[in-house]
Each structure stands twice: as C-alpha cells, then as structure tokens.
Structure 1
Amino acid sequence: MGPTGQTSGGAVQDGAAAANRDRRWGALALLCAAQLMIFLDATVVNVALPSIQHDLRISSASLSWVVNAYLLTFGGFLLLAGRAGDLFDRRRLFVAGMALFTAASLLCAVAASPTSLTAGRALQGVGGALVVAVGLAMIVTLFDEPAKRDRAMAVYSFVASGGGTLGVILGGVLIDTLGWYAIFLINLPVGLAIIAVTPRFLGHGLPGRGQAHLDLPGAVTVTTAVMLALLGCVTASSDGWAAPTTLILLAAAATGLALFVHLERRAAQPLLPPRLFRSRALCLANTLAVLLRAAMFSWFYFAALYMQNILGFTPLQTGLGFLPATLIIAVCAYTMAARLVARVGVQMPIVGGATLIGVGLGAFAFSPADGTYPAHVLPGMVLLGLGGGILFMPLIRTATTSTSPRDAGAASGLLNTSQQLGGALGLAVLASLAATHRSGDASLAATAAVLGLALRPQSPERRPVDVPQQTSRPDHSAHENERTT
C-alpha cells in the first residue's frame, strides 16, 4: 500500500501541477482581455467626442475634460495601485478595479450632463489603473520560467500596442450603428464576464501579509503630484509653457514629488521602495519607456491628423490605416521577440527595435502636404511595426522583472506611470511646437526633427490643417492611444 499510495499521491500531485500550469494560460487570456478592455476604452472615446458634444451640448472647453478626467485619474493612481498589489490580495484588487470600471462605464452610458459624464470618466480612470497595474504584476508572477514568461509578455505587448487601433475601428462601427453611449454599454457584459470567471483562473495574490499597511502620506502625495504634472502638460499644449497656470501646476508637481521623496525616506513601508532604484536595468528601462512613449504618442496623434486632414480619411479609415503597424507588431512580438531574447538577451532587441522606430519616424518626417498613404505613411508604419514588435516585450520584461517578485506591483505601476508621463509630456511639447511653427497656408511645419514629426510646408492647392491643442478639438483627440506600450 505504501508504494502504491506514494505512486498514487505523486500522480495526483503531478496532475494538479499540470492543471495549474494549464490554468496559467487561461489566466493570461483573462488578464489580457481585461487589459484590452481598458486600452480600447481609452481610445474609442476620442472617436465619440463629436457625437457626445452634439448630444449633451458640451462646450469645447468642457469636452476636453471627458478625456482629461480619465487621463489624470488613470495616470495618477497607477503607482498606488501597483504598490497595493504588492501588499494586499491582487485578485481582490483586480476584481475591485474591474467592478469600478464597469460601474463607471454604466454611469457614462446614462450620463445626461457634462458633469455626470466627467465624473464617470474619472472613476473609470481609477478602476482602469487598478486593473492595468495589478494585472501586469500578476502576469509577471504567474510565469516563473523565463521562456514561458517571455511568451506571455509577447502576448501582453501585442494587446497593449494593438488596443488603441482596434478602439478606433470599433468606435467607428458602434457610433455609426448604435450611438456614442454604446461604447460604454459594451463594457458591461465584458466586465461582468471577466469578474465571473476570475475565481476559476486567478488564485489569491499574496496571502499571509496581514501586517502590511499602505504608505498613505506617500500615496496621497505622489498621486497628487503625478496628476498635477499631467494637468500641467495638458495645459501647456493649449496655453503654452510660459503661461502662469502651466508654471504653477508644474511647480506644484515638482514640489509634491520632492515631498514624496522626503516622505519615502522615512516611511517604514514606502510606496516606492528605494531598493527598486538600485536596479540600473529598471531605471534605464523606465527612462527609455518615457522617451518611446513620447515619440509613439506624438506619432499616432500627428499621423491621425495627417491621414484625416491631408489625405481626407474618415475616422474609421484612419483606424484601418493604422492596422499594418498593429499587425506587424503582433506577428513580431509573438513570433520573433521571445526567440531573440532567448538567443541574444534583451539589449540587442531593445537597441535594434528603437533604431527601427527612429528610422520609421524619420520616414514620416518627409511626408509632404500632397502625399499619399502608400508612399508616405505606409513605409514608416512598417518600420514602426517591426521596431515595436521587437522592442516592447523585452522592454516590459526588463522593467518588471529586474526586481524581486514582491515588488512586481510597484515595478508595474512605475512603468505604466513613466509611460503616461512620457506620452503626455511628449505630445504637449510637440503640439506646442507644431502650433508655433504654423503660418498662413502651412499644414504642420517642423515639430521636432529628433522624433521625425515635421511635415513639409503645404502646397497652395491643398487645404490647411488646423493643429488642435491636445484636447481642445474633439475630432482629433487621438493622443490617449496605447497606454502600457
């Protein structure tokens, strides 16, 4: 009986282990579905802004807050959400974030006033921050084998990079057929389904950390500081960098960040443990994430303007125009990135991918005012797709696995916050430069040569392009695309 019992017990244990391993891929699908829902919603709203403005009779100034309310709360709560996932049960936080996002989507769908819609968007941002930061941390800790973790990261990279483009396409279809409220209502069945199946695929996060407590002073300080920094970038793109409001907001953000650093040095359980910044790889990865997100956000924004105002594309056609880059990223991320990392490590794919992205941006820099999509947009998109497909996975891997698994949430929150700040800052700088260089019949004059976003002066026979100030023009607010690339 002994040997038989041991054999039987070993078989049961092996079977349970195999079942858990199989369940991890179901958990990955669940987490990626949740991330895709958040990324889609962030972009699809931009397509709906003209319809929302017409139905709710919102002024242009108030309309910008339909986007900005989400941007501020999402970016502001990422660090707090990520660290909370390290200290408390990640599964419960994930469910709480999904429930809040779903309930806020219902509030947005039935909104009858600008105030209620803006409030719903702000709550969506808080819920979205929880889902994204905690979800990425769970993906990191679910897969401890490097090869399988790289494959999981490749899938996540595809979802993160493709969500924005799919949002533009889906938004165009839903708004044309059902109306703008459908972009929020569709979140209800998806969100409830994710919540319902979460217990089956996701185990509890970190049980047995009953003594842990959140650094509330640090959380309030850094959340406020990040929100002020994002608001300062938004204000700079419309009022200019020298405007008193911009200067006050950015100075307040800098003061808040300095106070946060001071508080963290004295905290027993800091929101961002100092040991994180002892990792040179993590610091470099976050710095590169800021620069890349600044470039990619700005490229998407100006490319959307170019396709709509120069080439005459509709919003739906513009979304389809971005598909080549999305598909190439998907293929490269899933088939090439993990193999490259396994063979040569993360450094060469990151450098090579960044180089291809730079060349792609440079190609877009030479798009003339009388250009065409096949000759002047598609080549850059192919290069950007190749570069992004090779780079995003090793970058995310480096930024989230260069520390202990107990800090995976904090590392995830830091990466996402870096990307949010990079996107907002890069777009604010380049939108301001584009507005400064506009003159007479010029379309989008030089914006920033280093990022390859300058356009040649427009020929007289083509109509001029008005460069909106980040969110003041509802029909071209594409800047919120791709949050965790």
Structure 2
Amino acid sequence: MSKTAAPAPLAAEPSRWKALVFIALAQLMVVLDATIVNIALPSPQTALGISDGNRQWVITAYALAFGGLLLFGGRIADKWGRKNAFIVGLIGFALASALGGAANGEAMMLGARALQGAFGALLAPAALSLLAVMFTDAKERAKAFGIYGAIAGGGGAVGLILGGFLTEYLNWRWTFFVNIPFAIIAAVGAWMIIREPAGGRNRAPLDIPGVILSTTGLVALVYGFTRAESAGWSDALTVTMFVASALLLAAFVLVESRVKSPLLPLRVLLERNRGGVYLSLGLAVIAMFGLFLFLTYYLQVVKGFSPVKTGFAFLPMIAGMITGSTQIGARLMTRVPPRLLMGPGFLLAATGMLLLTQLEVGSSYPALILPAQLLLGLGMGTAFMPAMSLATHGVNPADAGVASAMVNTSQQVGGAIGTALLNTIAASATTAYLTDHAAEAAAGGPAAKLIQAQAMVEGYSSAIWWAVGILVASATIALTLITTGRPGAGGPVASGDGAGADAEVKIPVIAH
C-alpha cells in the first residue's frame, strides 16, 4: 500500500505549475492595466468629450478604488477562499473592462475604471496569497516567485508597449477589451487547475470598523498625492486629504490593536523582516513610477518617438527584469539571505538611474538610455523576487491574503507618491530653468524651442537625482531591517506568525 501511495505528492506538482501560468496571466493583466490606459488617454478624452480638468479621473478612479480596497480584498480572500476570490475578481475585472471599452460618455468611463480598480483589489492579493500557500518548498518557491516578480516588475512596461500598439493600429477601446481574453483564460484555467490547500481560511467575523477606516484612509492618502500633482502641495483640499488620511489611518491602527479579529493584524506589519520588505518595496516603486513617467515624456516629447516606438524603447528594462528575477534572484534565493539580493539589487538599479541623470536633449538611446534600462531592470528584478516571497513567507495561512494585500498597498501608495512628488520636483526645476533663460525663450524661433526642451530635460534629470537617493534608501532599509537567513538554512526565518492559536495573539520575535 505504501508503494502505491508514494507518488501522490508528485501528482500535485504539475498542477501547481499549471496554476502558476494562470496566476501569472492574471497578475500581468492587473499590472499592465495601470499603464496601458495612460498612453491611450488622449484618444478616449477626445472621443468621449472629457474635459482637461476631468481627464485625470480616468487614472485616478482606478487608483483610488484599487489602493483603497486592497486590504479589504485581501481579507475577503482569506475568509472566502483565495481561489474563489481570484475567479470572482477575474470575472468582475473582465466585465468592468467590457464596460470601459463600450463607454459612450464620461460617467460610464469613470464608473468602469472604478470597478476595474475594485475587482483588481480583490484579484491581486488573492493571486499572491495563492502562490504563498501553494509553493512552500524553498526551491519551488524561488522559481515561482521569480516568474511572479518578473511580471510584477515588468508588467507596467509591457502596458506601455501594448497601449501604444493598440492605440496606434487599432482603437483606444482595445486597451480595455484586451483584458477580456486574459481574464477568461485565467478564470477557466484557475477553476479547472487550482487546488487550494485545505484549511487556512479565516473564520473570524469581519472587522467592519477596520474596513471603513482603512478604505477611507487609503483613498484620502492616494487622492492627496494625486491632487498634489495637479493642484499643488499647499492647495486646501490637498492638505485636508493628508490630514484626514493621517487621522483615519491612526484610528485604524488603534482599532486594530484592540479588536479581537482585526482586518490587518499588527503582527503582519510589526514582524521586522516583513515590515522592511513593505517599506523598501514602497520606496523603490516611488522611484520606478517616476522613471516611467519621465522617460515616456522624454522619448515622446523631446525625441519625437511614436507611442509604439516609445513602448518598444522600454524592452531592455523588461528583459533586465526577467533576467534579474528568474536567472539571478531565483537561482540565488535559496543560497543567500534575502537582504543580500535586495540590497545590491536596489543599488544596481540606483546605478542605472544615476546614468539617466546625465540626460540631455541630444542624448543617444543606445549609448545612455539602453544601458541604464538594463541596469535598472536587472537590479529591480533581482530585488523584487525575494521581496515578494519574503513578504508572505511564514505568515499564518489565515492571514496570507491580507499580507499579500500589504505588498500591493505599498506599491500602490508608492506609485501615487512617486508620480506626485517627482513630478512636482521636475516641474519646479523646469520653471527655474525657464526663468533663468527667459530672454532666450522670449526670442522665439528654433532657439526658444530648444530652451523649452532643455528646460524639460533639466526637470527630468533633477527628479531622477531624487529617485537615485530613494533607491539608495531602499537598499539601506533592506540591508539593515531584513535579518532573516536564507530559506531552509535553519537560521532565523521570516515566519514567526506561527500556525496555531498562539499566532493570533503574539507578535513574532526574530532570533539573532
């Protein structure tokens, strides 16, 4: 009998790897949707008669719903089952995408974007937590998270390519419709293939005050940064949003420390290694989002690239991310502690960013931008993969969804901060340059156009210097806060959340 039963664990192995294909496909859809619409935005704005003042809401409606509902979505996955949440999220995202593609007016478009964000907030943490509970062997986990990390890091650049291609050769509506086949294939595949491990569901009652406080607090925070970009940091509503966010999130922490079944158990955040991952990852995303923004504008406005050519110009970064994640991070993850991948990875990315501070109007793409992108991609891919894995490693299975949601939340908030903060820095530097060269700009003709282009590039390079500093800070946090040993080495592990009842009441302590 024992000989007959022995192959059973192996039979499940192909199922796990097949499931990874559909999880990765869903993650790619969510990540690329954050940028695919951005590059196509002028077309739907014209077609639907959206004013310049309201066009930002096509982006903001998605960001607010996604960022605000992530923690709620993660906890729903814990309670309802990650597979169920994953499939419902996919179907909802497909329906919302169909609504956006068929939009005949501003209200329909904004409503579709908000629905996309809401279902994305259910889908994204469910996808990551499925990986966390399905891949527990250190070597398998390294490979699985290598693939996932490459997609999470490179999906935004893929969105730029796909968005440019669809807008230029088909129609802006296809930037929405393209999600539908992705979602259907992933949902059908997940329903047939995914076998979620038994147990691990959170049966505690839902923390309604925590849901309300976290959602409103995160929405206020993301909207504050979004508004700061357009209206300025001293704008009354911007300041009000930041103050409201601080109060709501402080109240949320207070509630979570006192309720019996919190939405976000503070042990998930206070575990040193996991907290270090959330912080370093959030900072790194600030730098990355700023780069996407400035490099896209530089290539299109200064260099005159078409949307499709701009998208393809990001290919070296995608290649670097895939290589860093699957060939460096995945191969070394079981051999060295995570901090020795994350720290050097962020520093390598900072080196690539440092090259881009040398941008000029006439800079060569092959000589400067291409090598900079390769370094950025390699560094980010190497760092993202162990970060994604460590953020969910060893967490109580009943909290896997909400721990995964915190990864997405740190990225979403980091993206909002990066876009607003670095854009403000760039705008200030551009204005200062134009003020210093006002006489030449006023002369008109080719000289004035050159001054305008130089002012823009001056702004980009000033902001990129800040991005370099932010990446160095990410590396420092990773090297100092993250102390866990390599997976399976028998040293300190980033678990500590336990699996039993004790885990529900105590904050883990890492042995040094």
TM-score (norm: length of structure 2): 0.83
User: Given residue 428 of structure 1, which amino acid in structure 2 is its aligned partner?
Assistant: A
Report whether the alignment pairs 1:222 with 2:214: yes
- Give the structure 2 partner of residue 464 of structure 1: 452
**Secondary structure of the corresponding residue to residue 273 of structure 2:** helix
1:330 aligned to 2:330?
Answer: no
Please state how far the C-alpha of 1:463 moved relative to its aligned partner. Answer: 6.0
Q: Is 1:354–2:342 an aligned residue pair?
A: no
Equivalent residue of 1:462, what SS? Answer: helix
Deviation of 1:103 (Å):
0.8
- Aligned-partner SS, 2:452: coil
Separation in 1, partners of 2:451, 2:85: 50
1:401 equivalenced with 2:389 (yes/no)? no
Letter paired with 1:251: V
1:214 and 1:429 mapped to 2: Cα distance?
35
Per the alignment, residue 160 of structure 2 pairs with: 168
Give the direction of change, closer, same or farther, for the CA distance of 1:399–1:45 in structure 2 (3 Å limit).
same
Contact kept? 1:89, 1:206, Cα under 8 Å: no
Counterpart position of 2:247:
255
Q: What is the DSSP-based 3-state SS (H/G/I as helix, E as strand, rest coil) of the residue aligned with 1:414?
A: helix
Question: Percent identity, aligned pairs only?
Answer: 36
The change in CA–CA distance for 1:166 and 1:272 in structure 2 (over 3 A counts) is same
3-state SS of the aligned residue for 1:305? Answer: helix
1:420 to 412, 416, 424: 412
Deviations 1:227-277 (A, max 9, x none): 110000011111111111110011111111011112112211101112213
The answer for unaligned runs of 5 or more in structure 2 is 438-445, 458-512
Cα contact 2:168–2:308 (8 A) shared by 1? no
Match of 2:174 in 1: 182
Corresponding residue for residue 125 of structure 2:
133
SS of equivalent residue, structure 1 residue 121: helix
**Change in 2 beyond 3 A, CA 1:389/1:189:** closer
Structure 1 equivalent of residue 296 of structure 2:
304
Q: Report the equivalent of 2:10.
A: 18
**What is the CA-CA distance between 1:187 and the residue it aligns to?**
2.0
Indicate the RMSD between aligned Cα atoms, in angstroms: 2.2
CA contact (8 A) 1:233 1:246 kept: yes
- For 2:41 and 2:113, locate their aligned partners in 1 and report how far apart those are by CA, in whole Å: 13
- CA-to-partner distance for each residue in 1:441-464, whole Å, 9 max, x for gaps? 659x9xxxxxxxxxxxx9866262
Q: Deviations over 1:24-52 (max 9, x none)?
A: 00011110011111122221111211110
Q: Distance in 2 between matches of 1:46 and 1:194?
A: 24
Is the Cα–Cα contact under 8 Å of residues 88 and 206 in structure 1 kept in the other structure?
no
**Which of residues 112, 124, 128 in structure 2 aligns to 1:120?**
112
Q: Which amino acid aligns with 2:414?
A: G
Question: How far is the alpha carbon of 1:192 from its aligned partner?
Answer: 2.1
Distance 1:210 1:373 in 2: 51
Q: Deviations over 1:99-119 (max 9, x none)?
A: 111111111111111001100
1:223 positional shift: 0.8
SS of 2:41's partner is helix
- For residues 409-453 of structure 1, the C-alpha deviation after alignment (integer angstroms, 9 at most, x for no partner) is 12111111011111211221111111122238659x9xxxxxxxx
Which deviations, in whole Å up to 9, do the C-alpha atoms of 1:91-141 show, x marking residues without a partner?
111111111111111111111110011000000001111111110000111
User: Cα distance, 1:217 vs. partner?
Assistant: 1.1
Whole-Å separation in 2 of the counterparts to 1:162 and 1:407: 27
Contact 1:311 1:373 in 2 (8 A): no
CA spacing shift, 1:67–1:14, aligned 2, 3 Å: same
CA drift of 1:370 comes to 2.3
> Which residues of structure 1 form unaligned runs of 5+?
1-5, 446-457, 469-485
Partners of 2:128 and 2:369 in 1: CA distance: 32
Instruction: Name the aligned partner's letter for residue 290 of structure 2.
Output: S
Corresponding residue SS for 1:269: coil
Please name the residue that 1:481 is paired with: none
Which residue does 1:453 correspond to in 2?
none
Distance 1:211 1:346 in 2: 32
Q: How many residues align?
A: 447
User: What's the CA shift string for 1:269-298, capped at 9, x where partnerless?
Assistant: 101112213310011111101110111111
Task: Find the aligned partners of 1:286 and 1:100 in 2 and give their Cα distance.
Answer: 28
Structure 2: how far apart are the matches of 1:372 and 1:48?
A: 26
Instruction: Identify the match of residue 21 of structure 2 among 20, 29, 47.
Output: 29
1:337-360 deviations in whole A, cap 9, x for unaligned?
A: 122222222111111111111111
The AA in structure 2 aligned to 1:379 is: P
What is the one-letter code of the residue matched to 1:343? R
> 2 CA distance for matches of 1:134 and 1:208?
13
Evaluate the alpha carbon distance shift between residue 388 and residue 210 of structure 1 in structure 2; reply closer, same or farther with a 3 A threshold: closer
Structure 1 position 194, deviation (Å): 2.1
Residue 144 of structure 1 aligns to a residue whose secondary structure is coil
> TM-score, length-normalised on structure 1?
0.88
Check conservation: 1:92, 1:204, Cα contact below 8 A.
no
CA contact (8 A) 1:282 1:402 kept: no
The residue identity in structure 1 corresponding to 2:339 is: Q
Q: Contact 2:299–2:305 at 8 Å: present in 1 too?
A: yes
Aligned residue in 2 for 1:107: 99
Q: Is the 8 A contact 1:279 1:403 kept in 2?
A: no
1-structure distance, mates of 2:431, 2:25:
45
Which residue in the other structure is 2:371 paired with?
379
For 2:334 and 2:294, how far apart are their aligned partners in 1? 35
The 5 Å alignment of 1:230-309 reads: 230-309=222-301
Name the amino acid aligned to 1:346. P
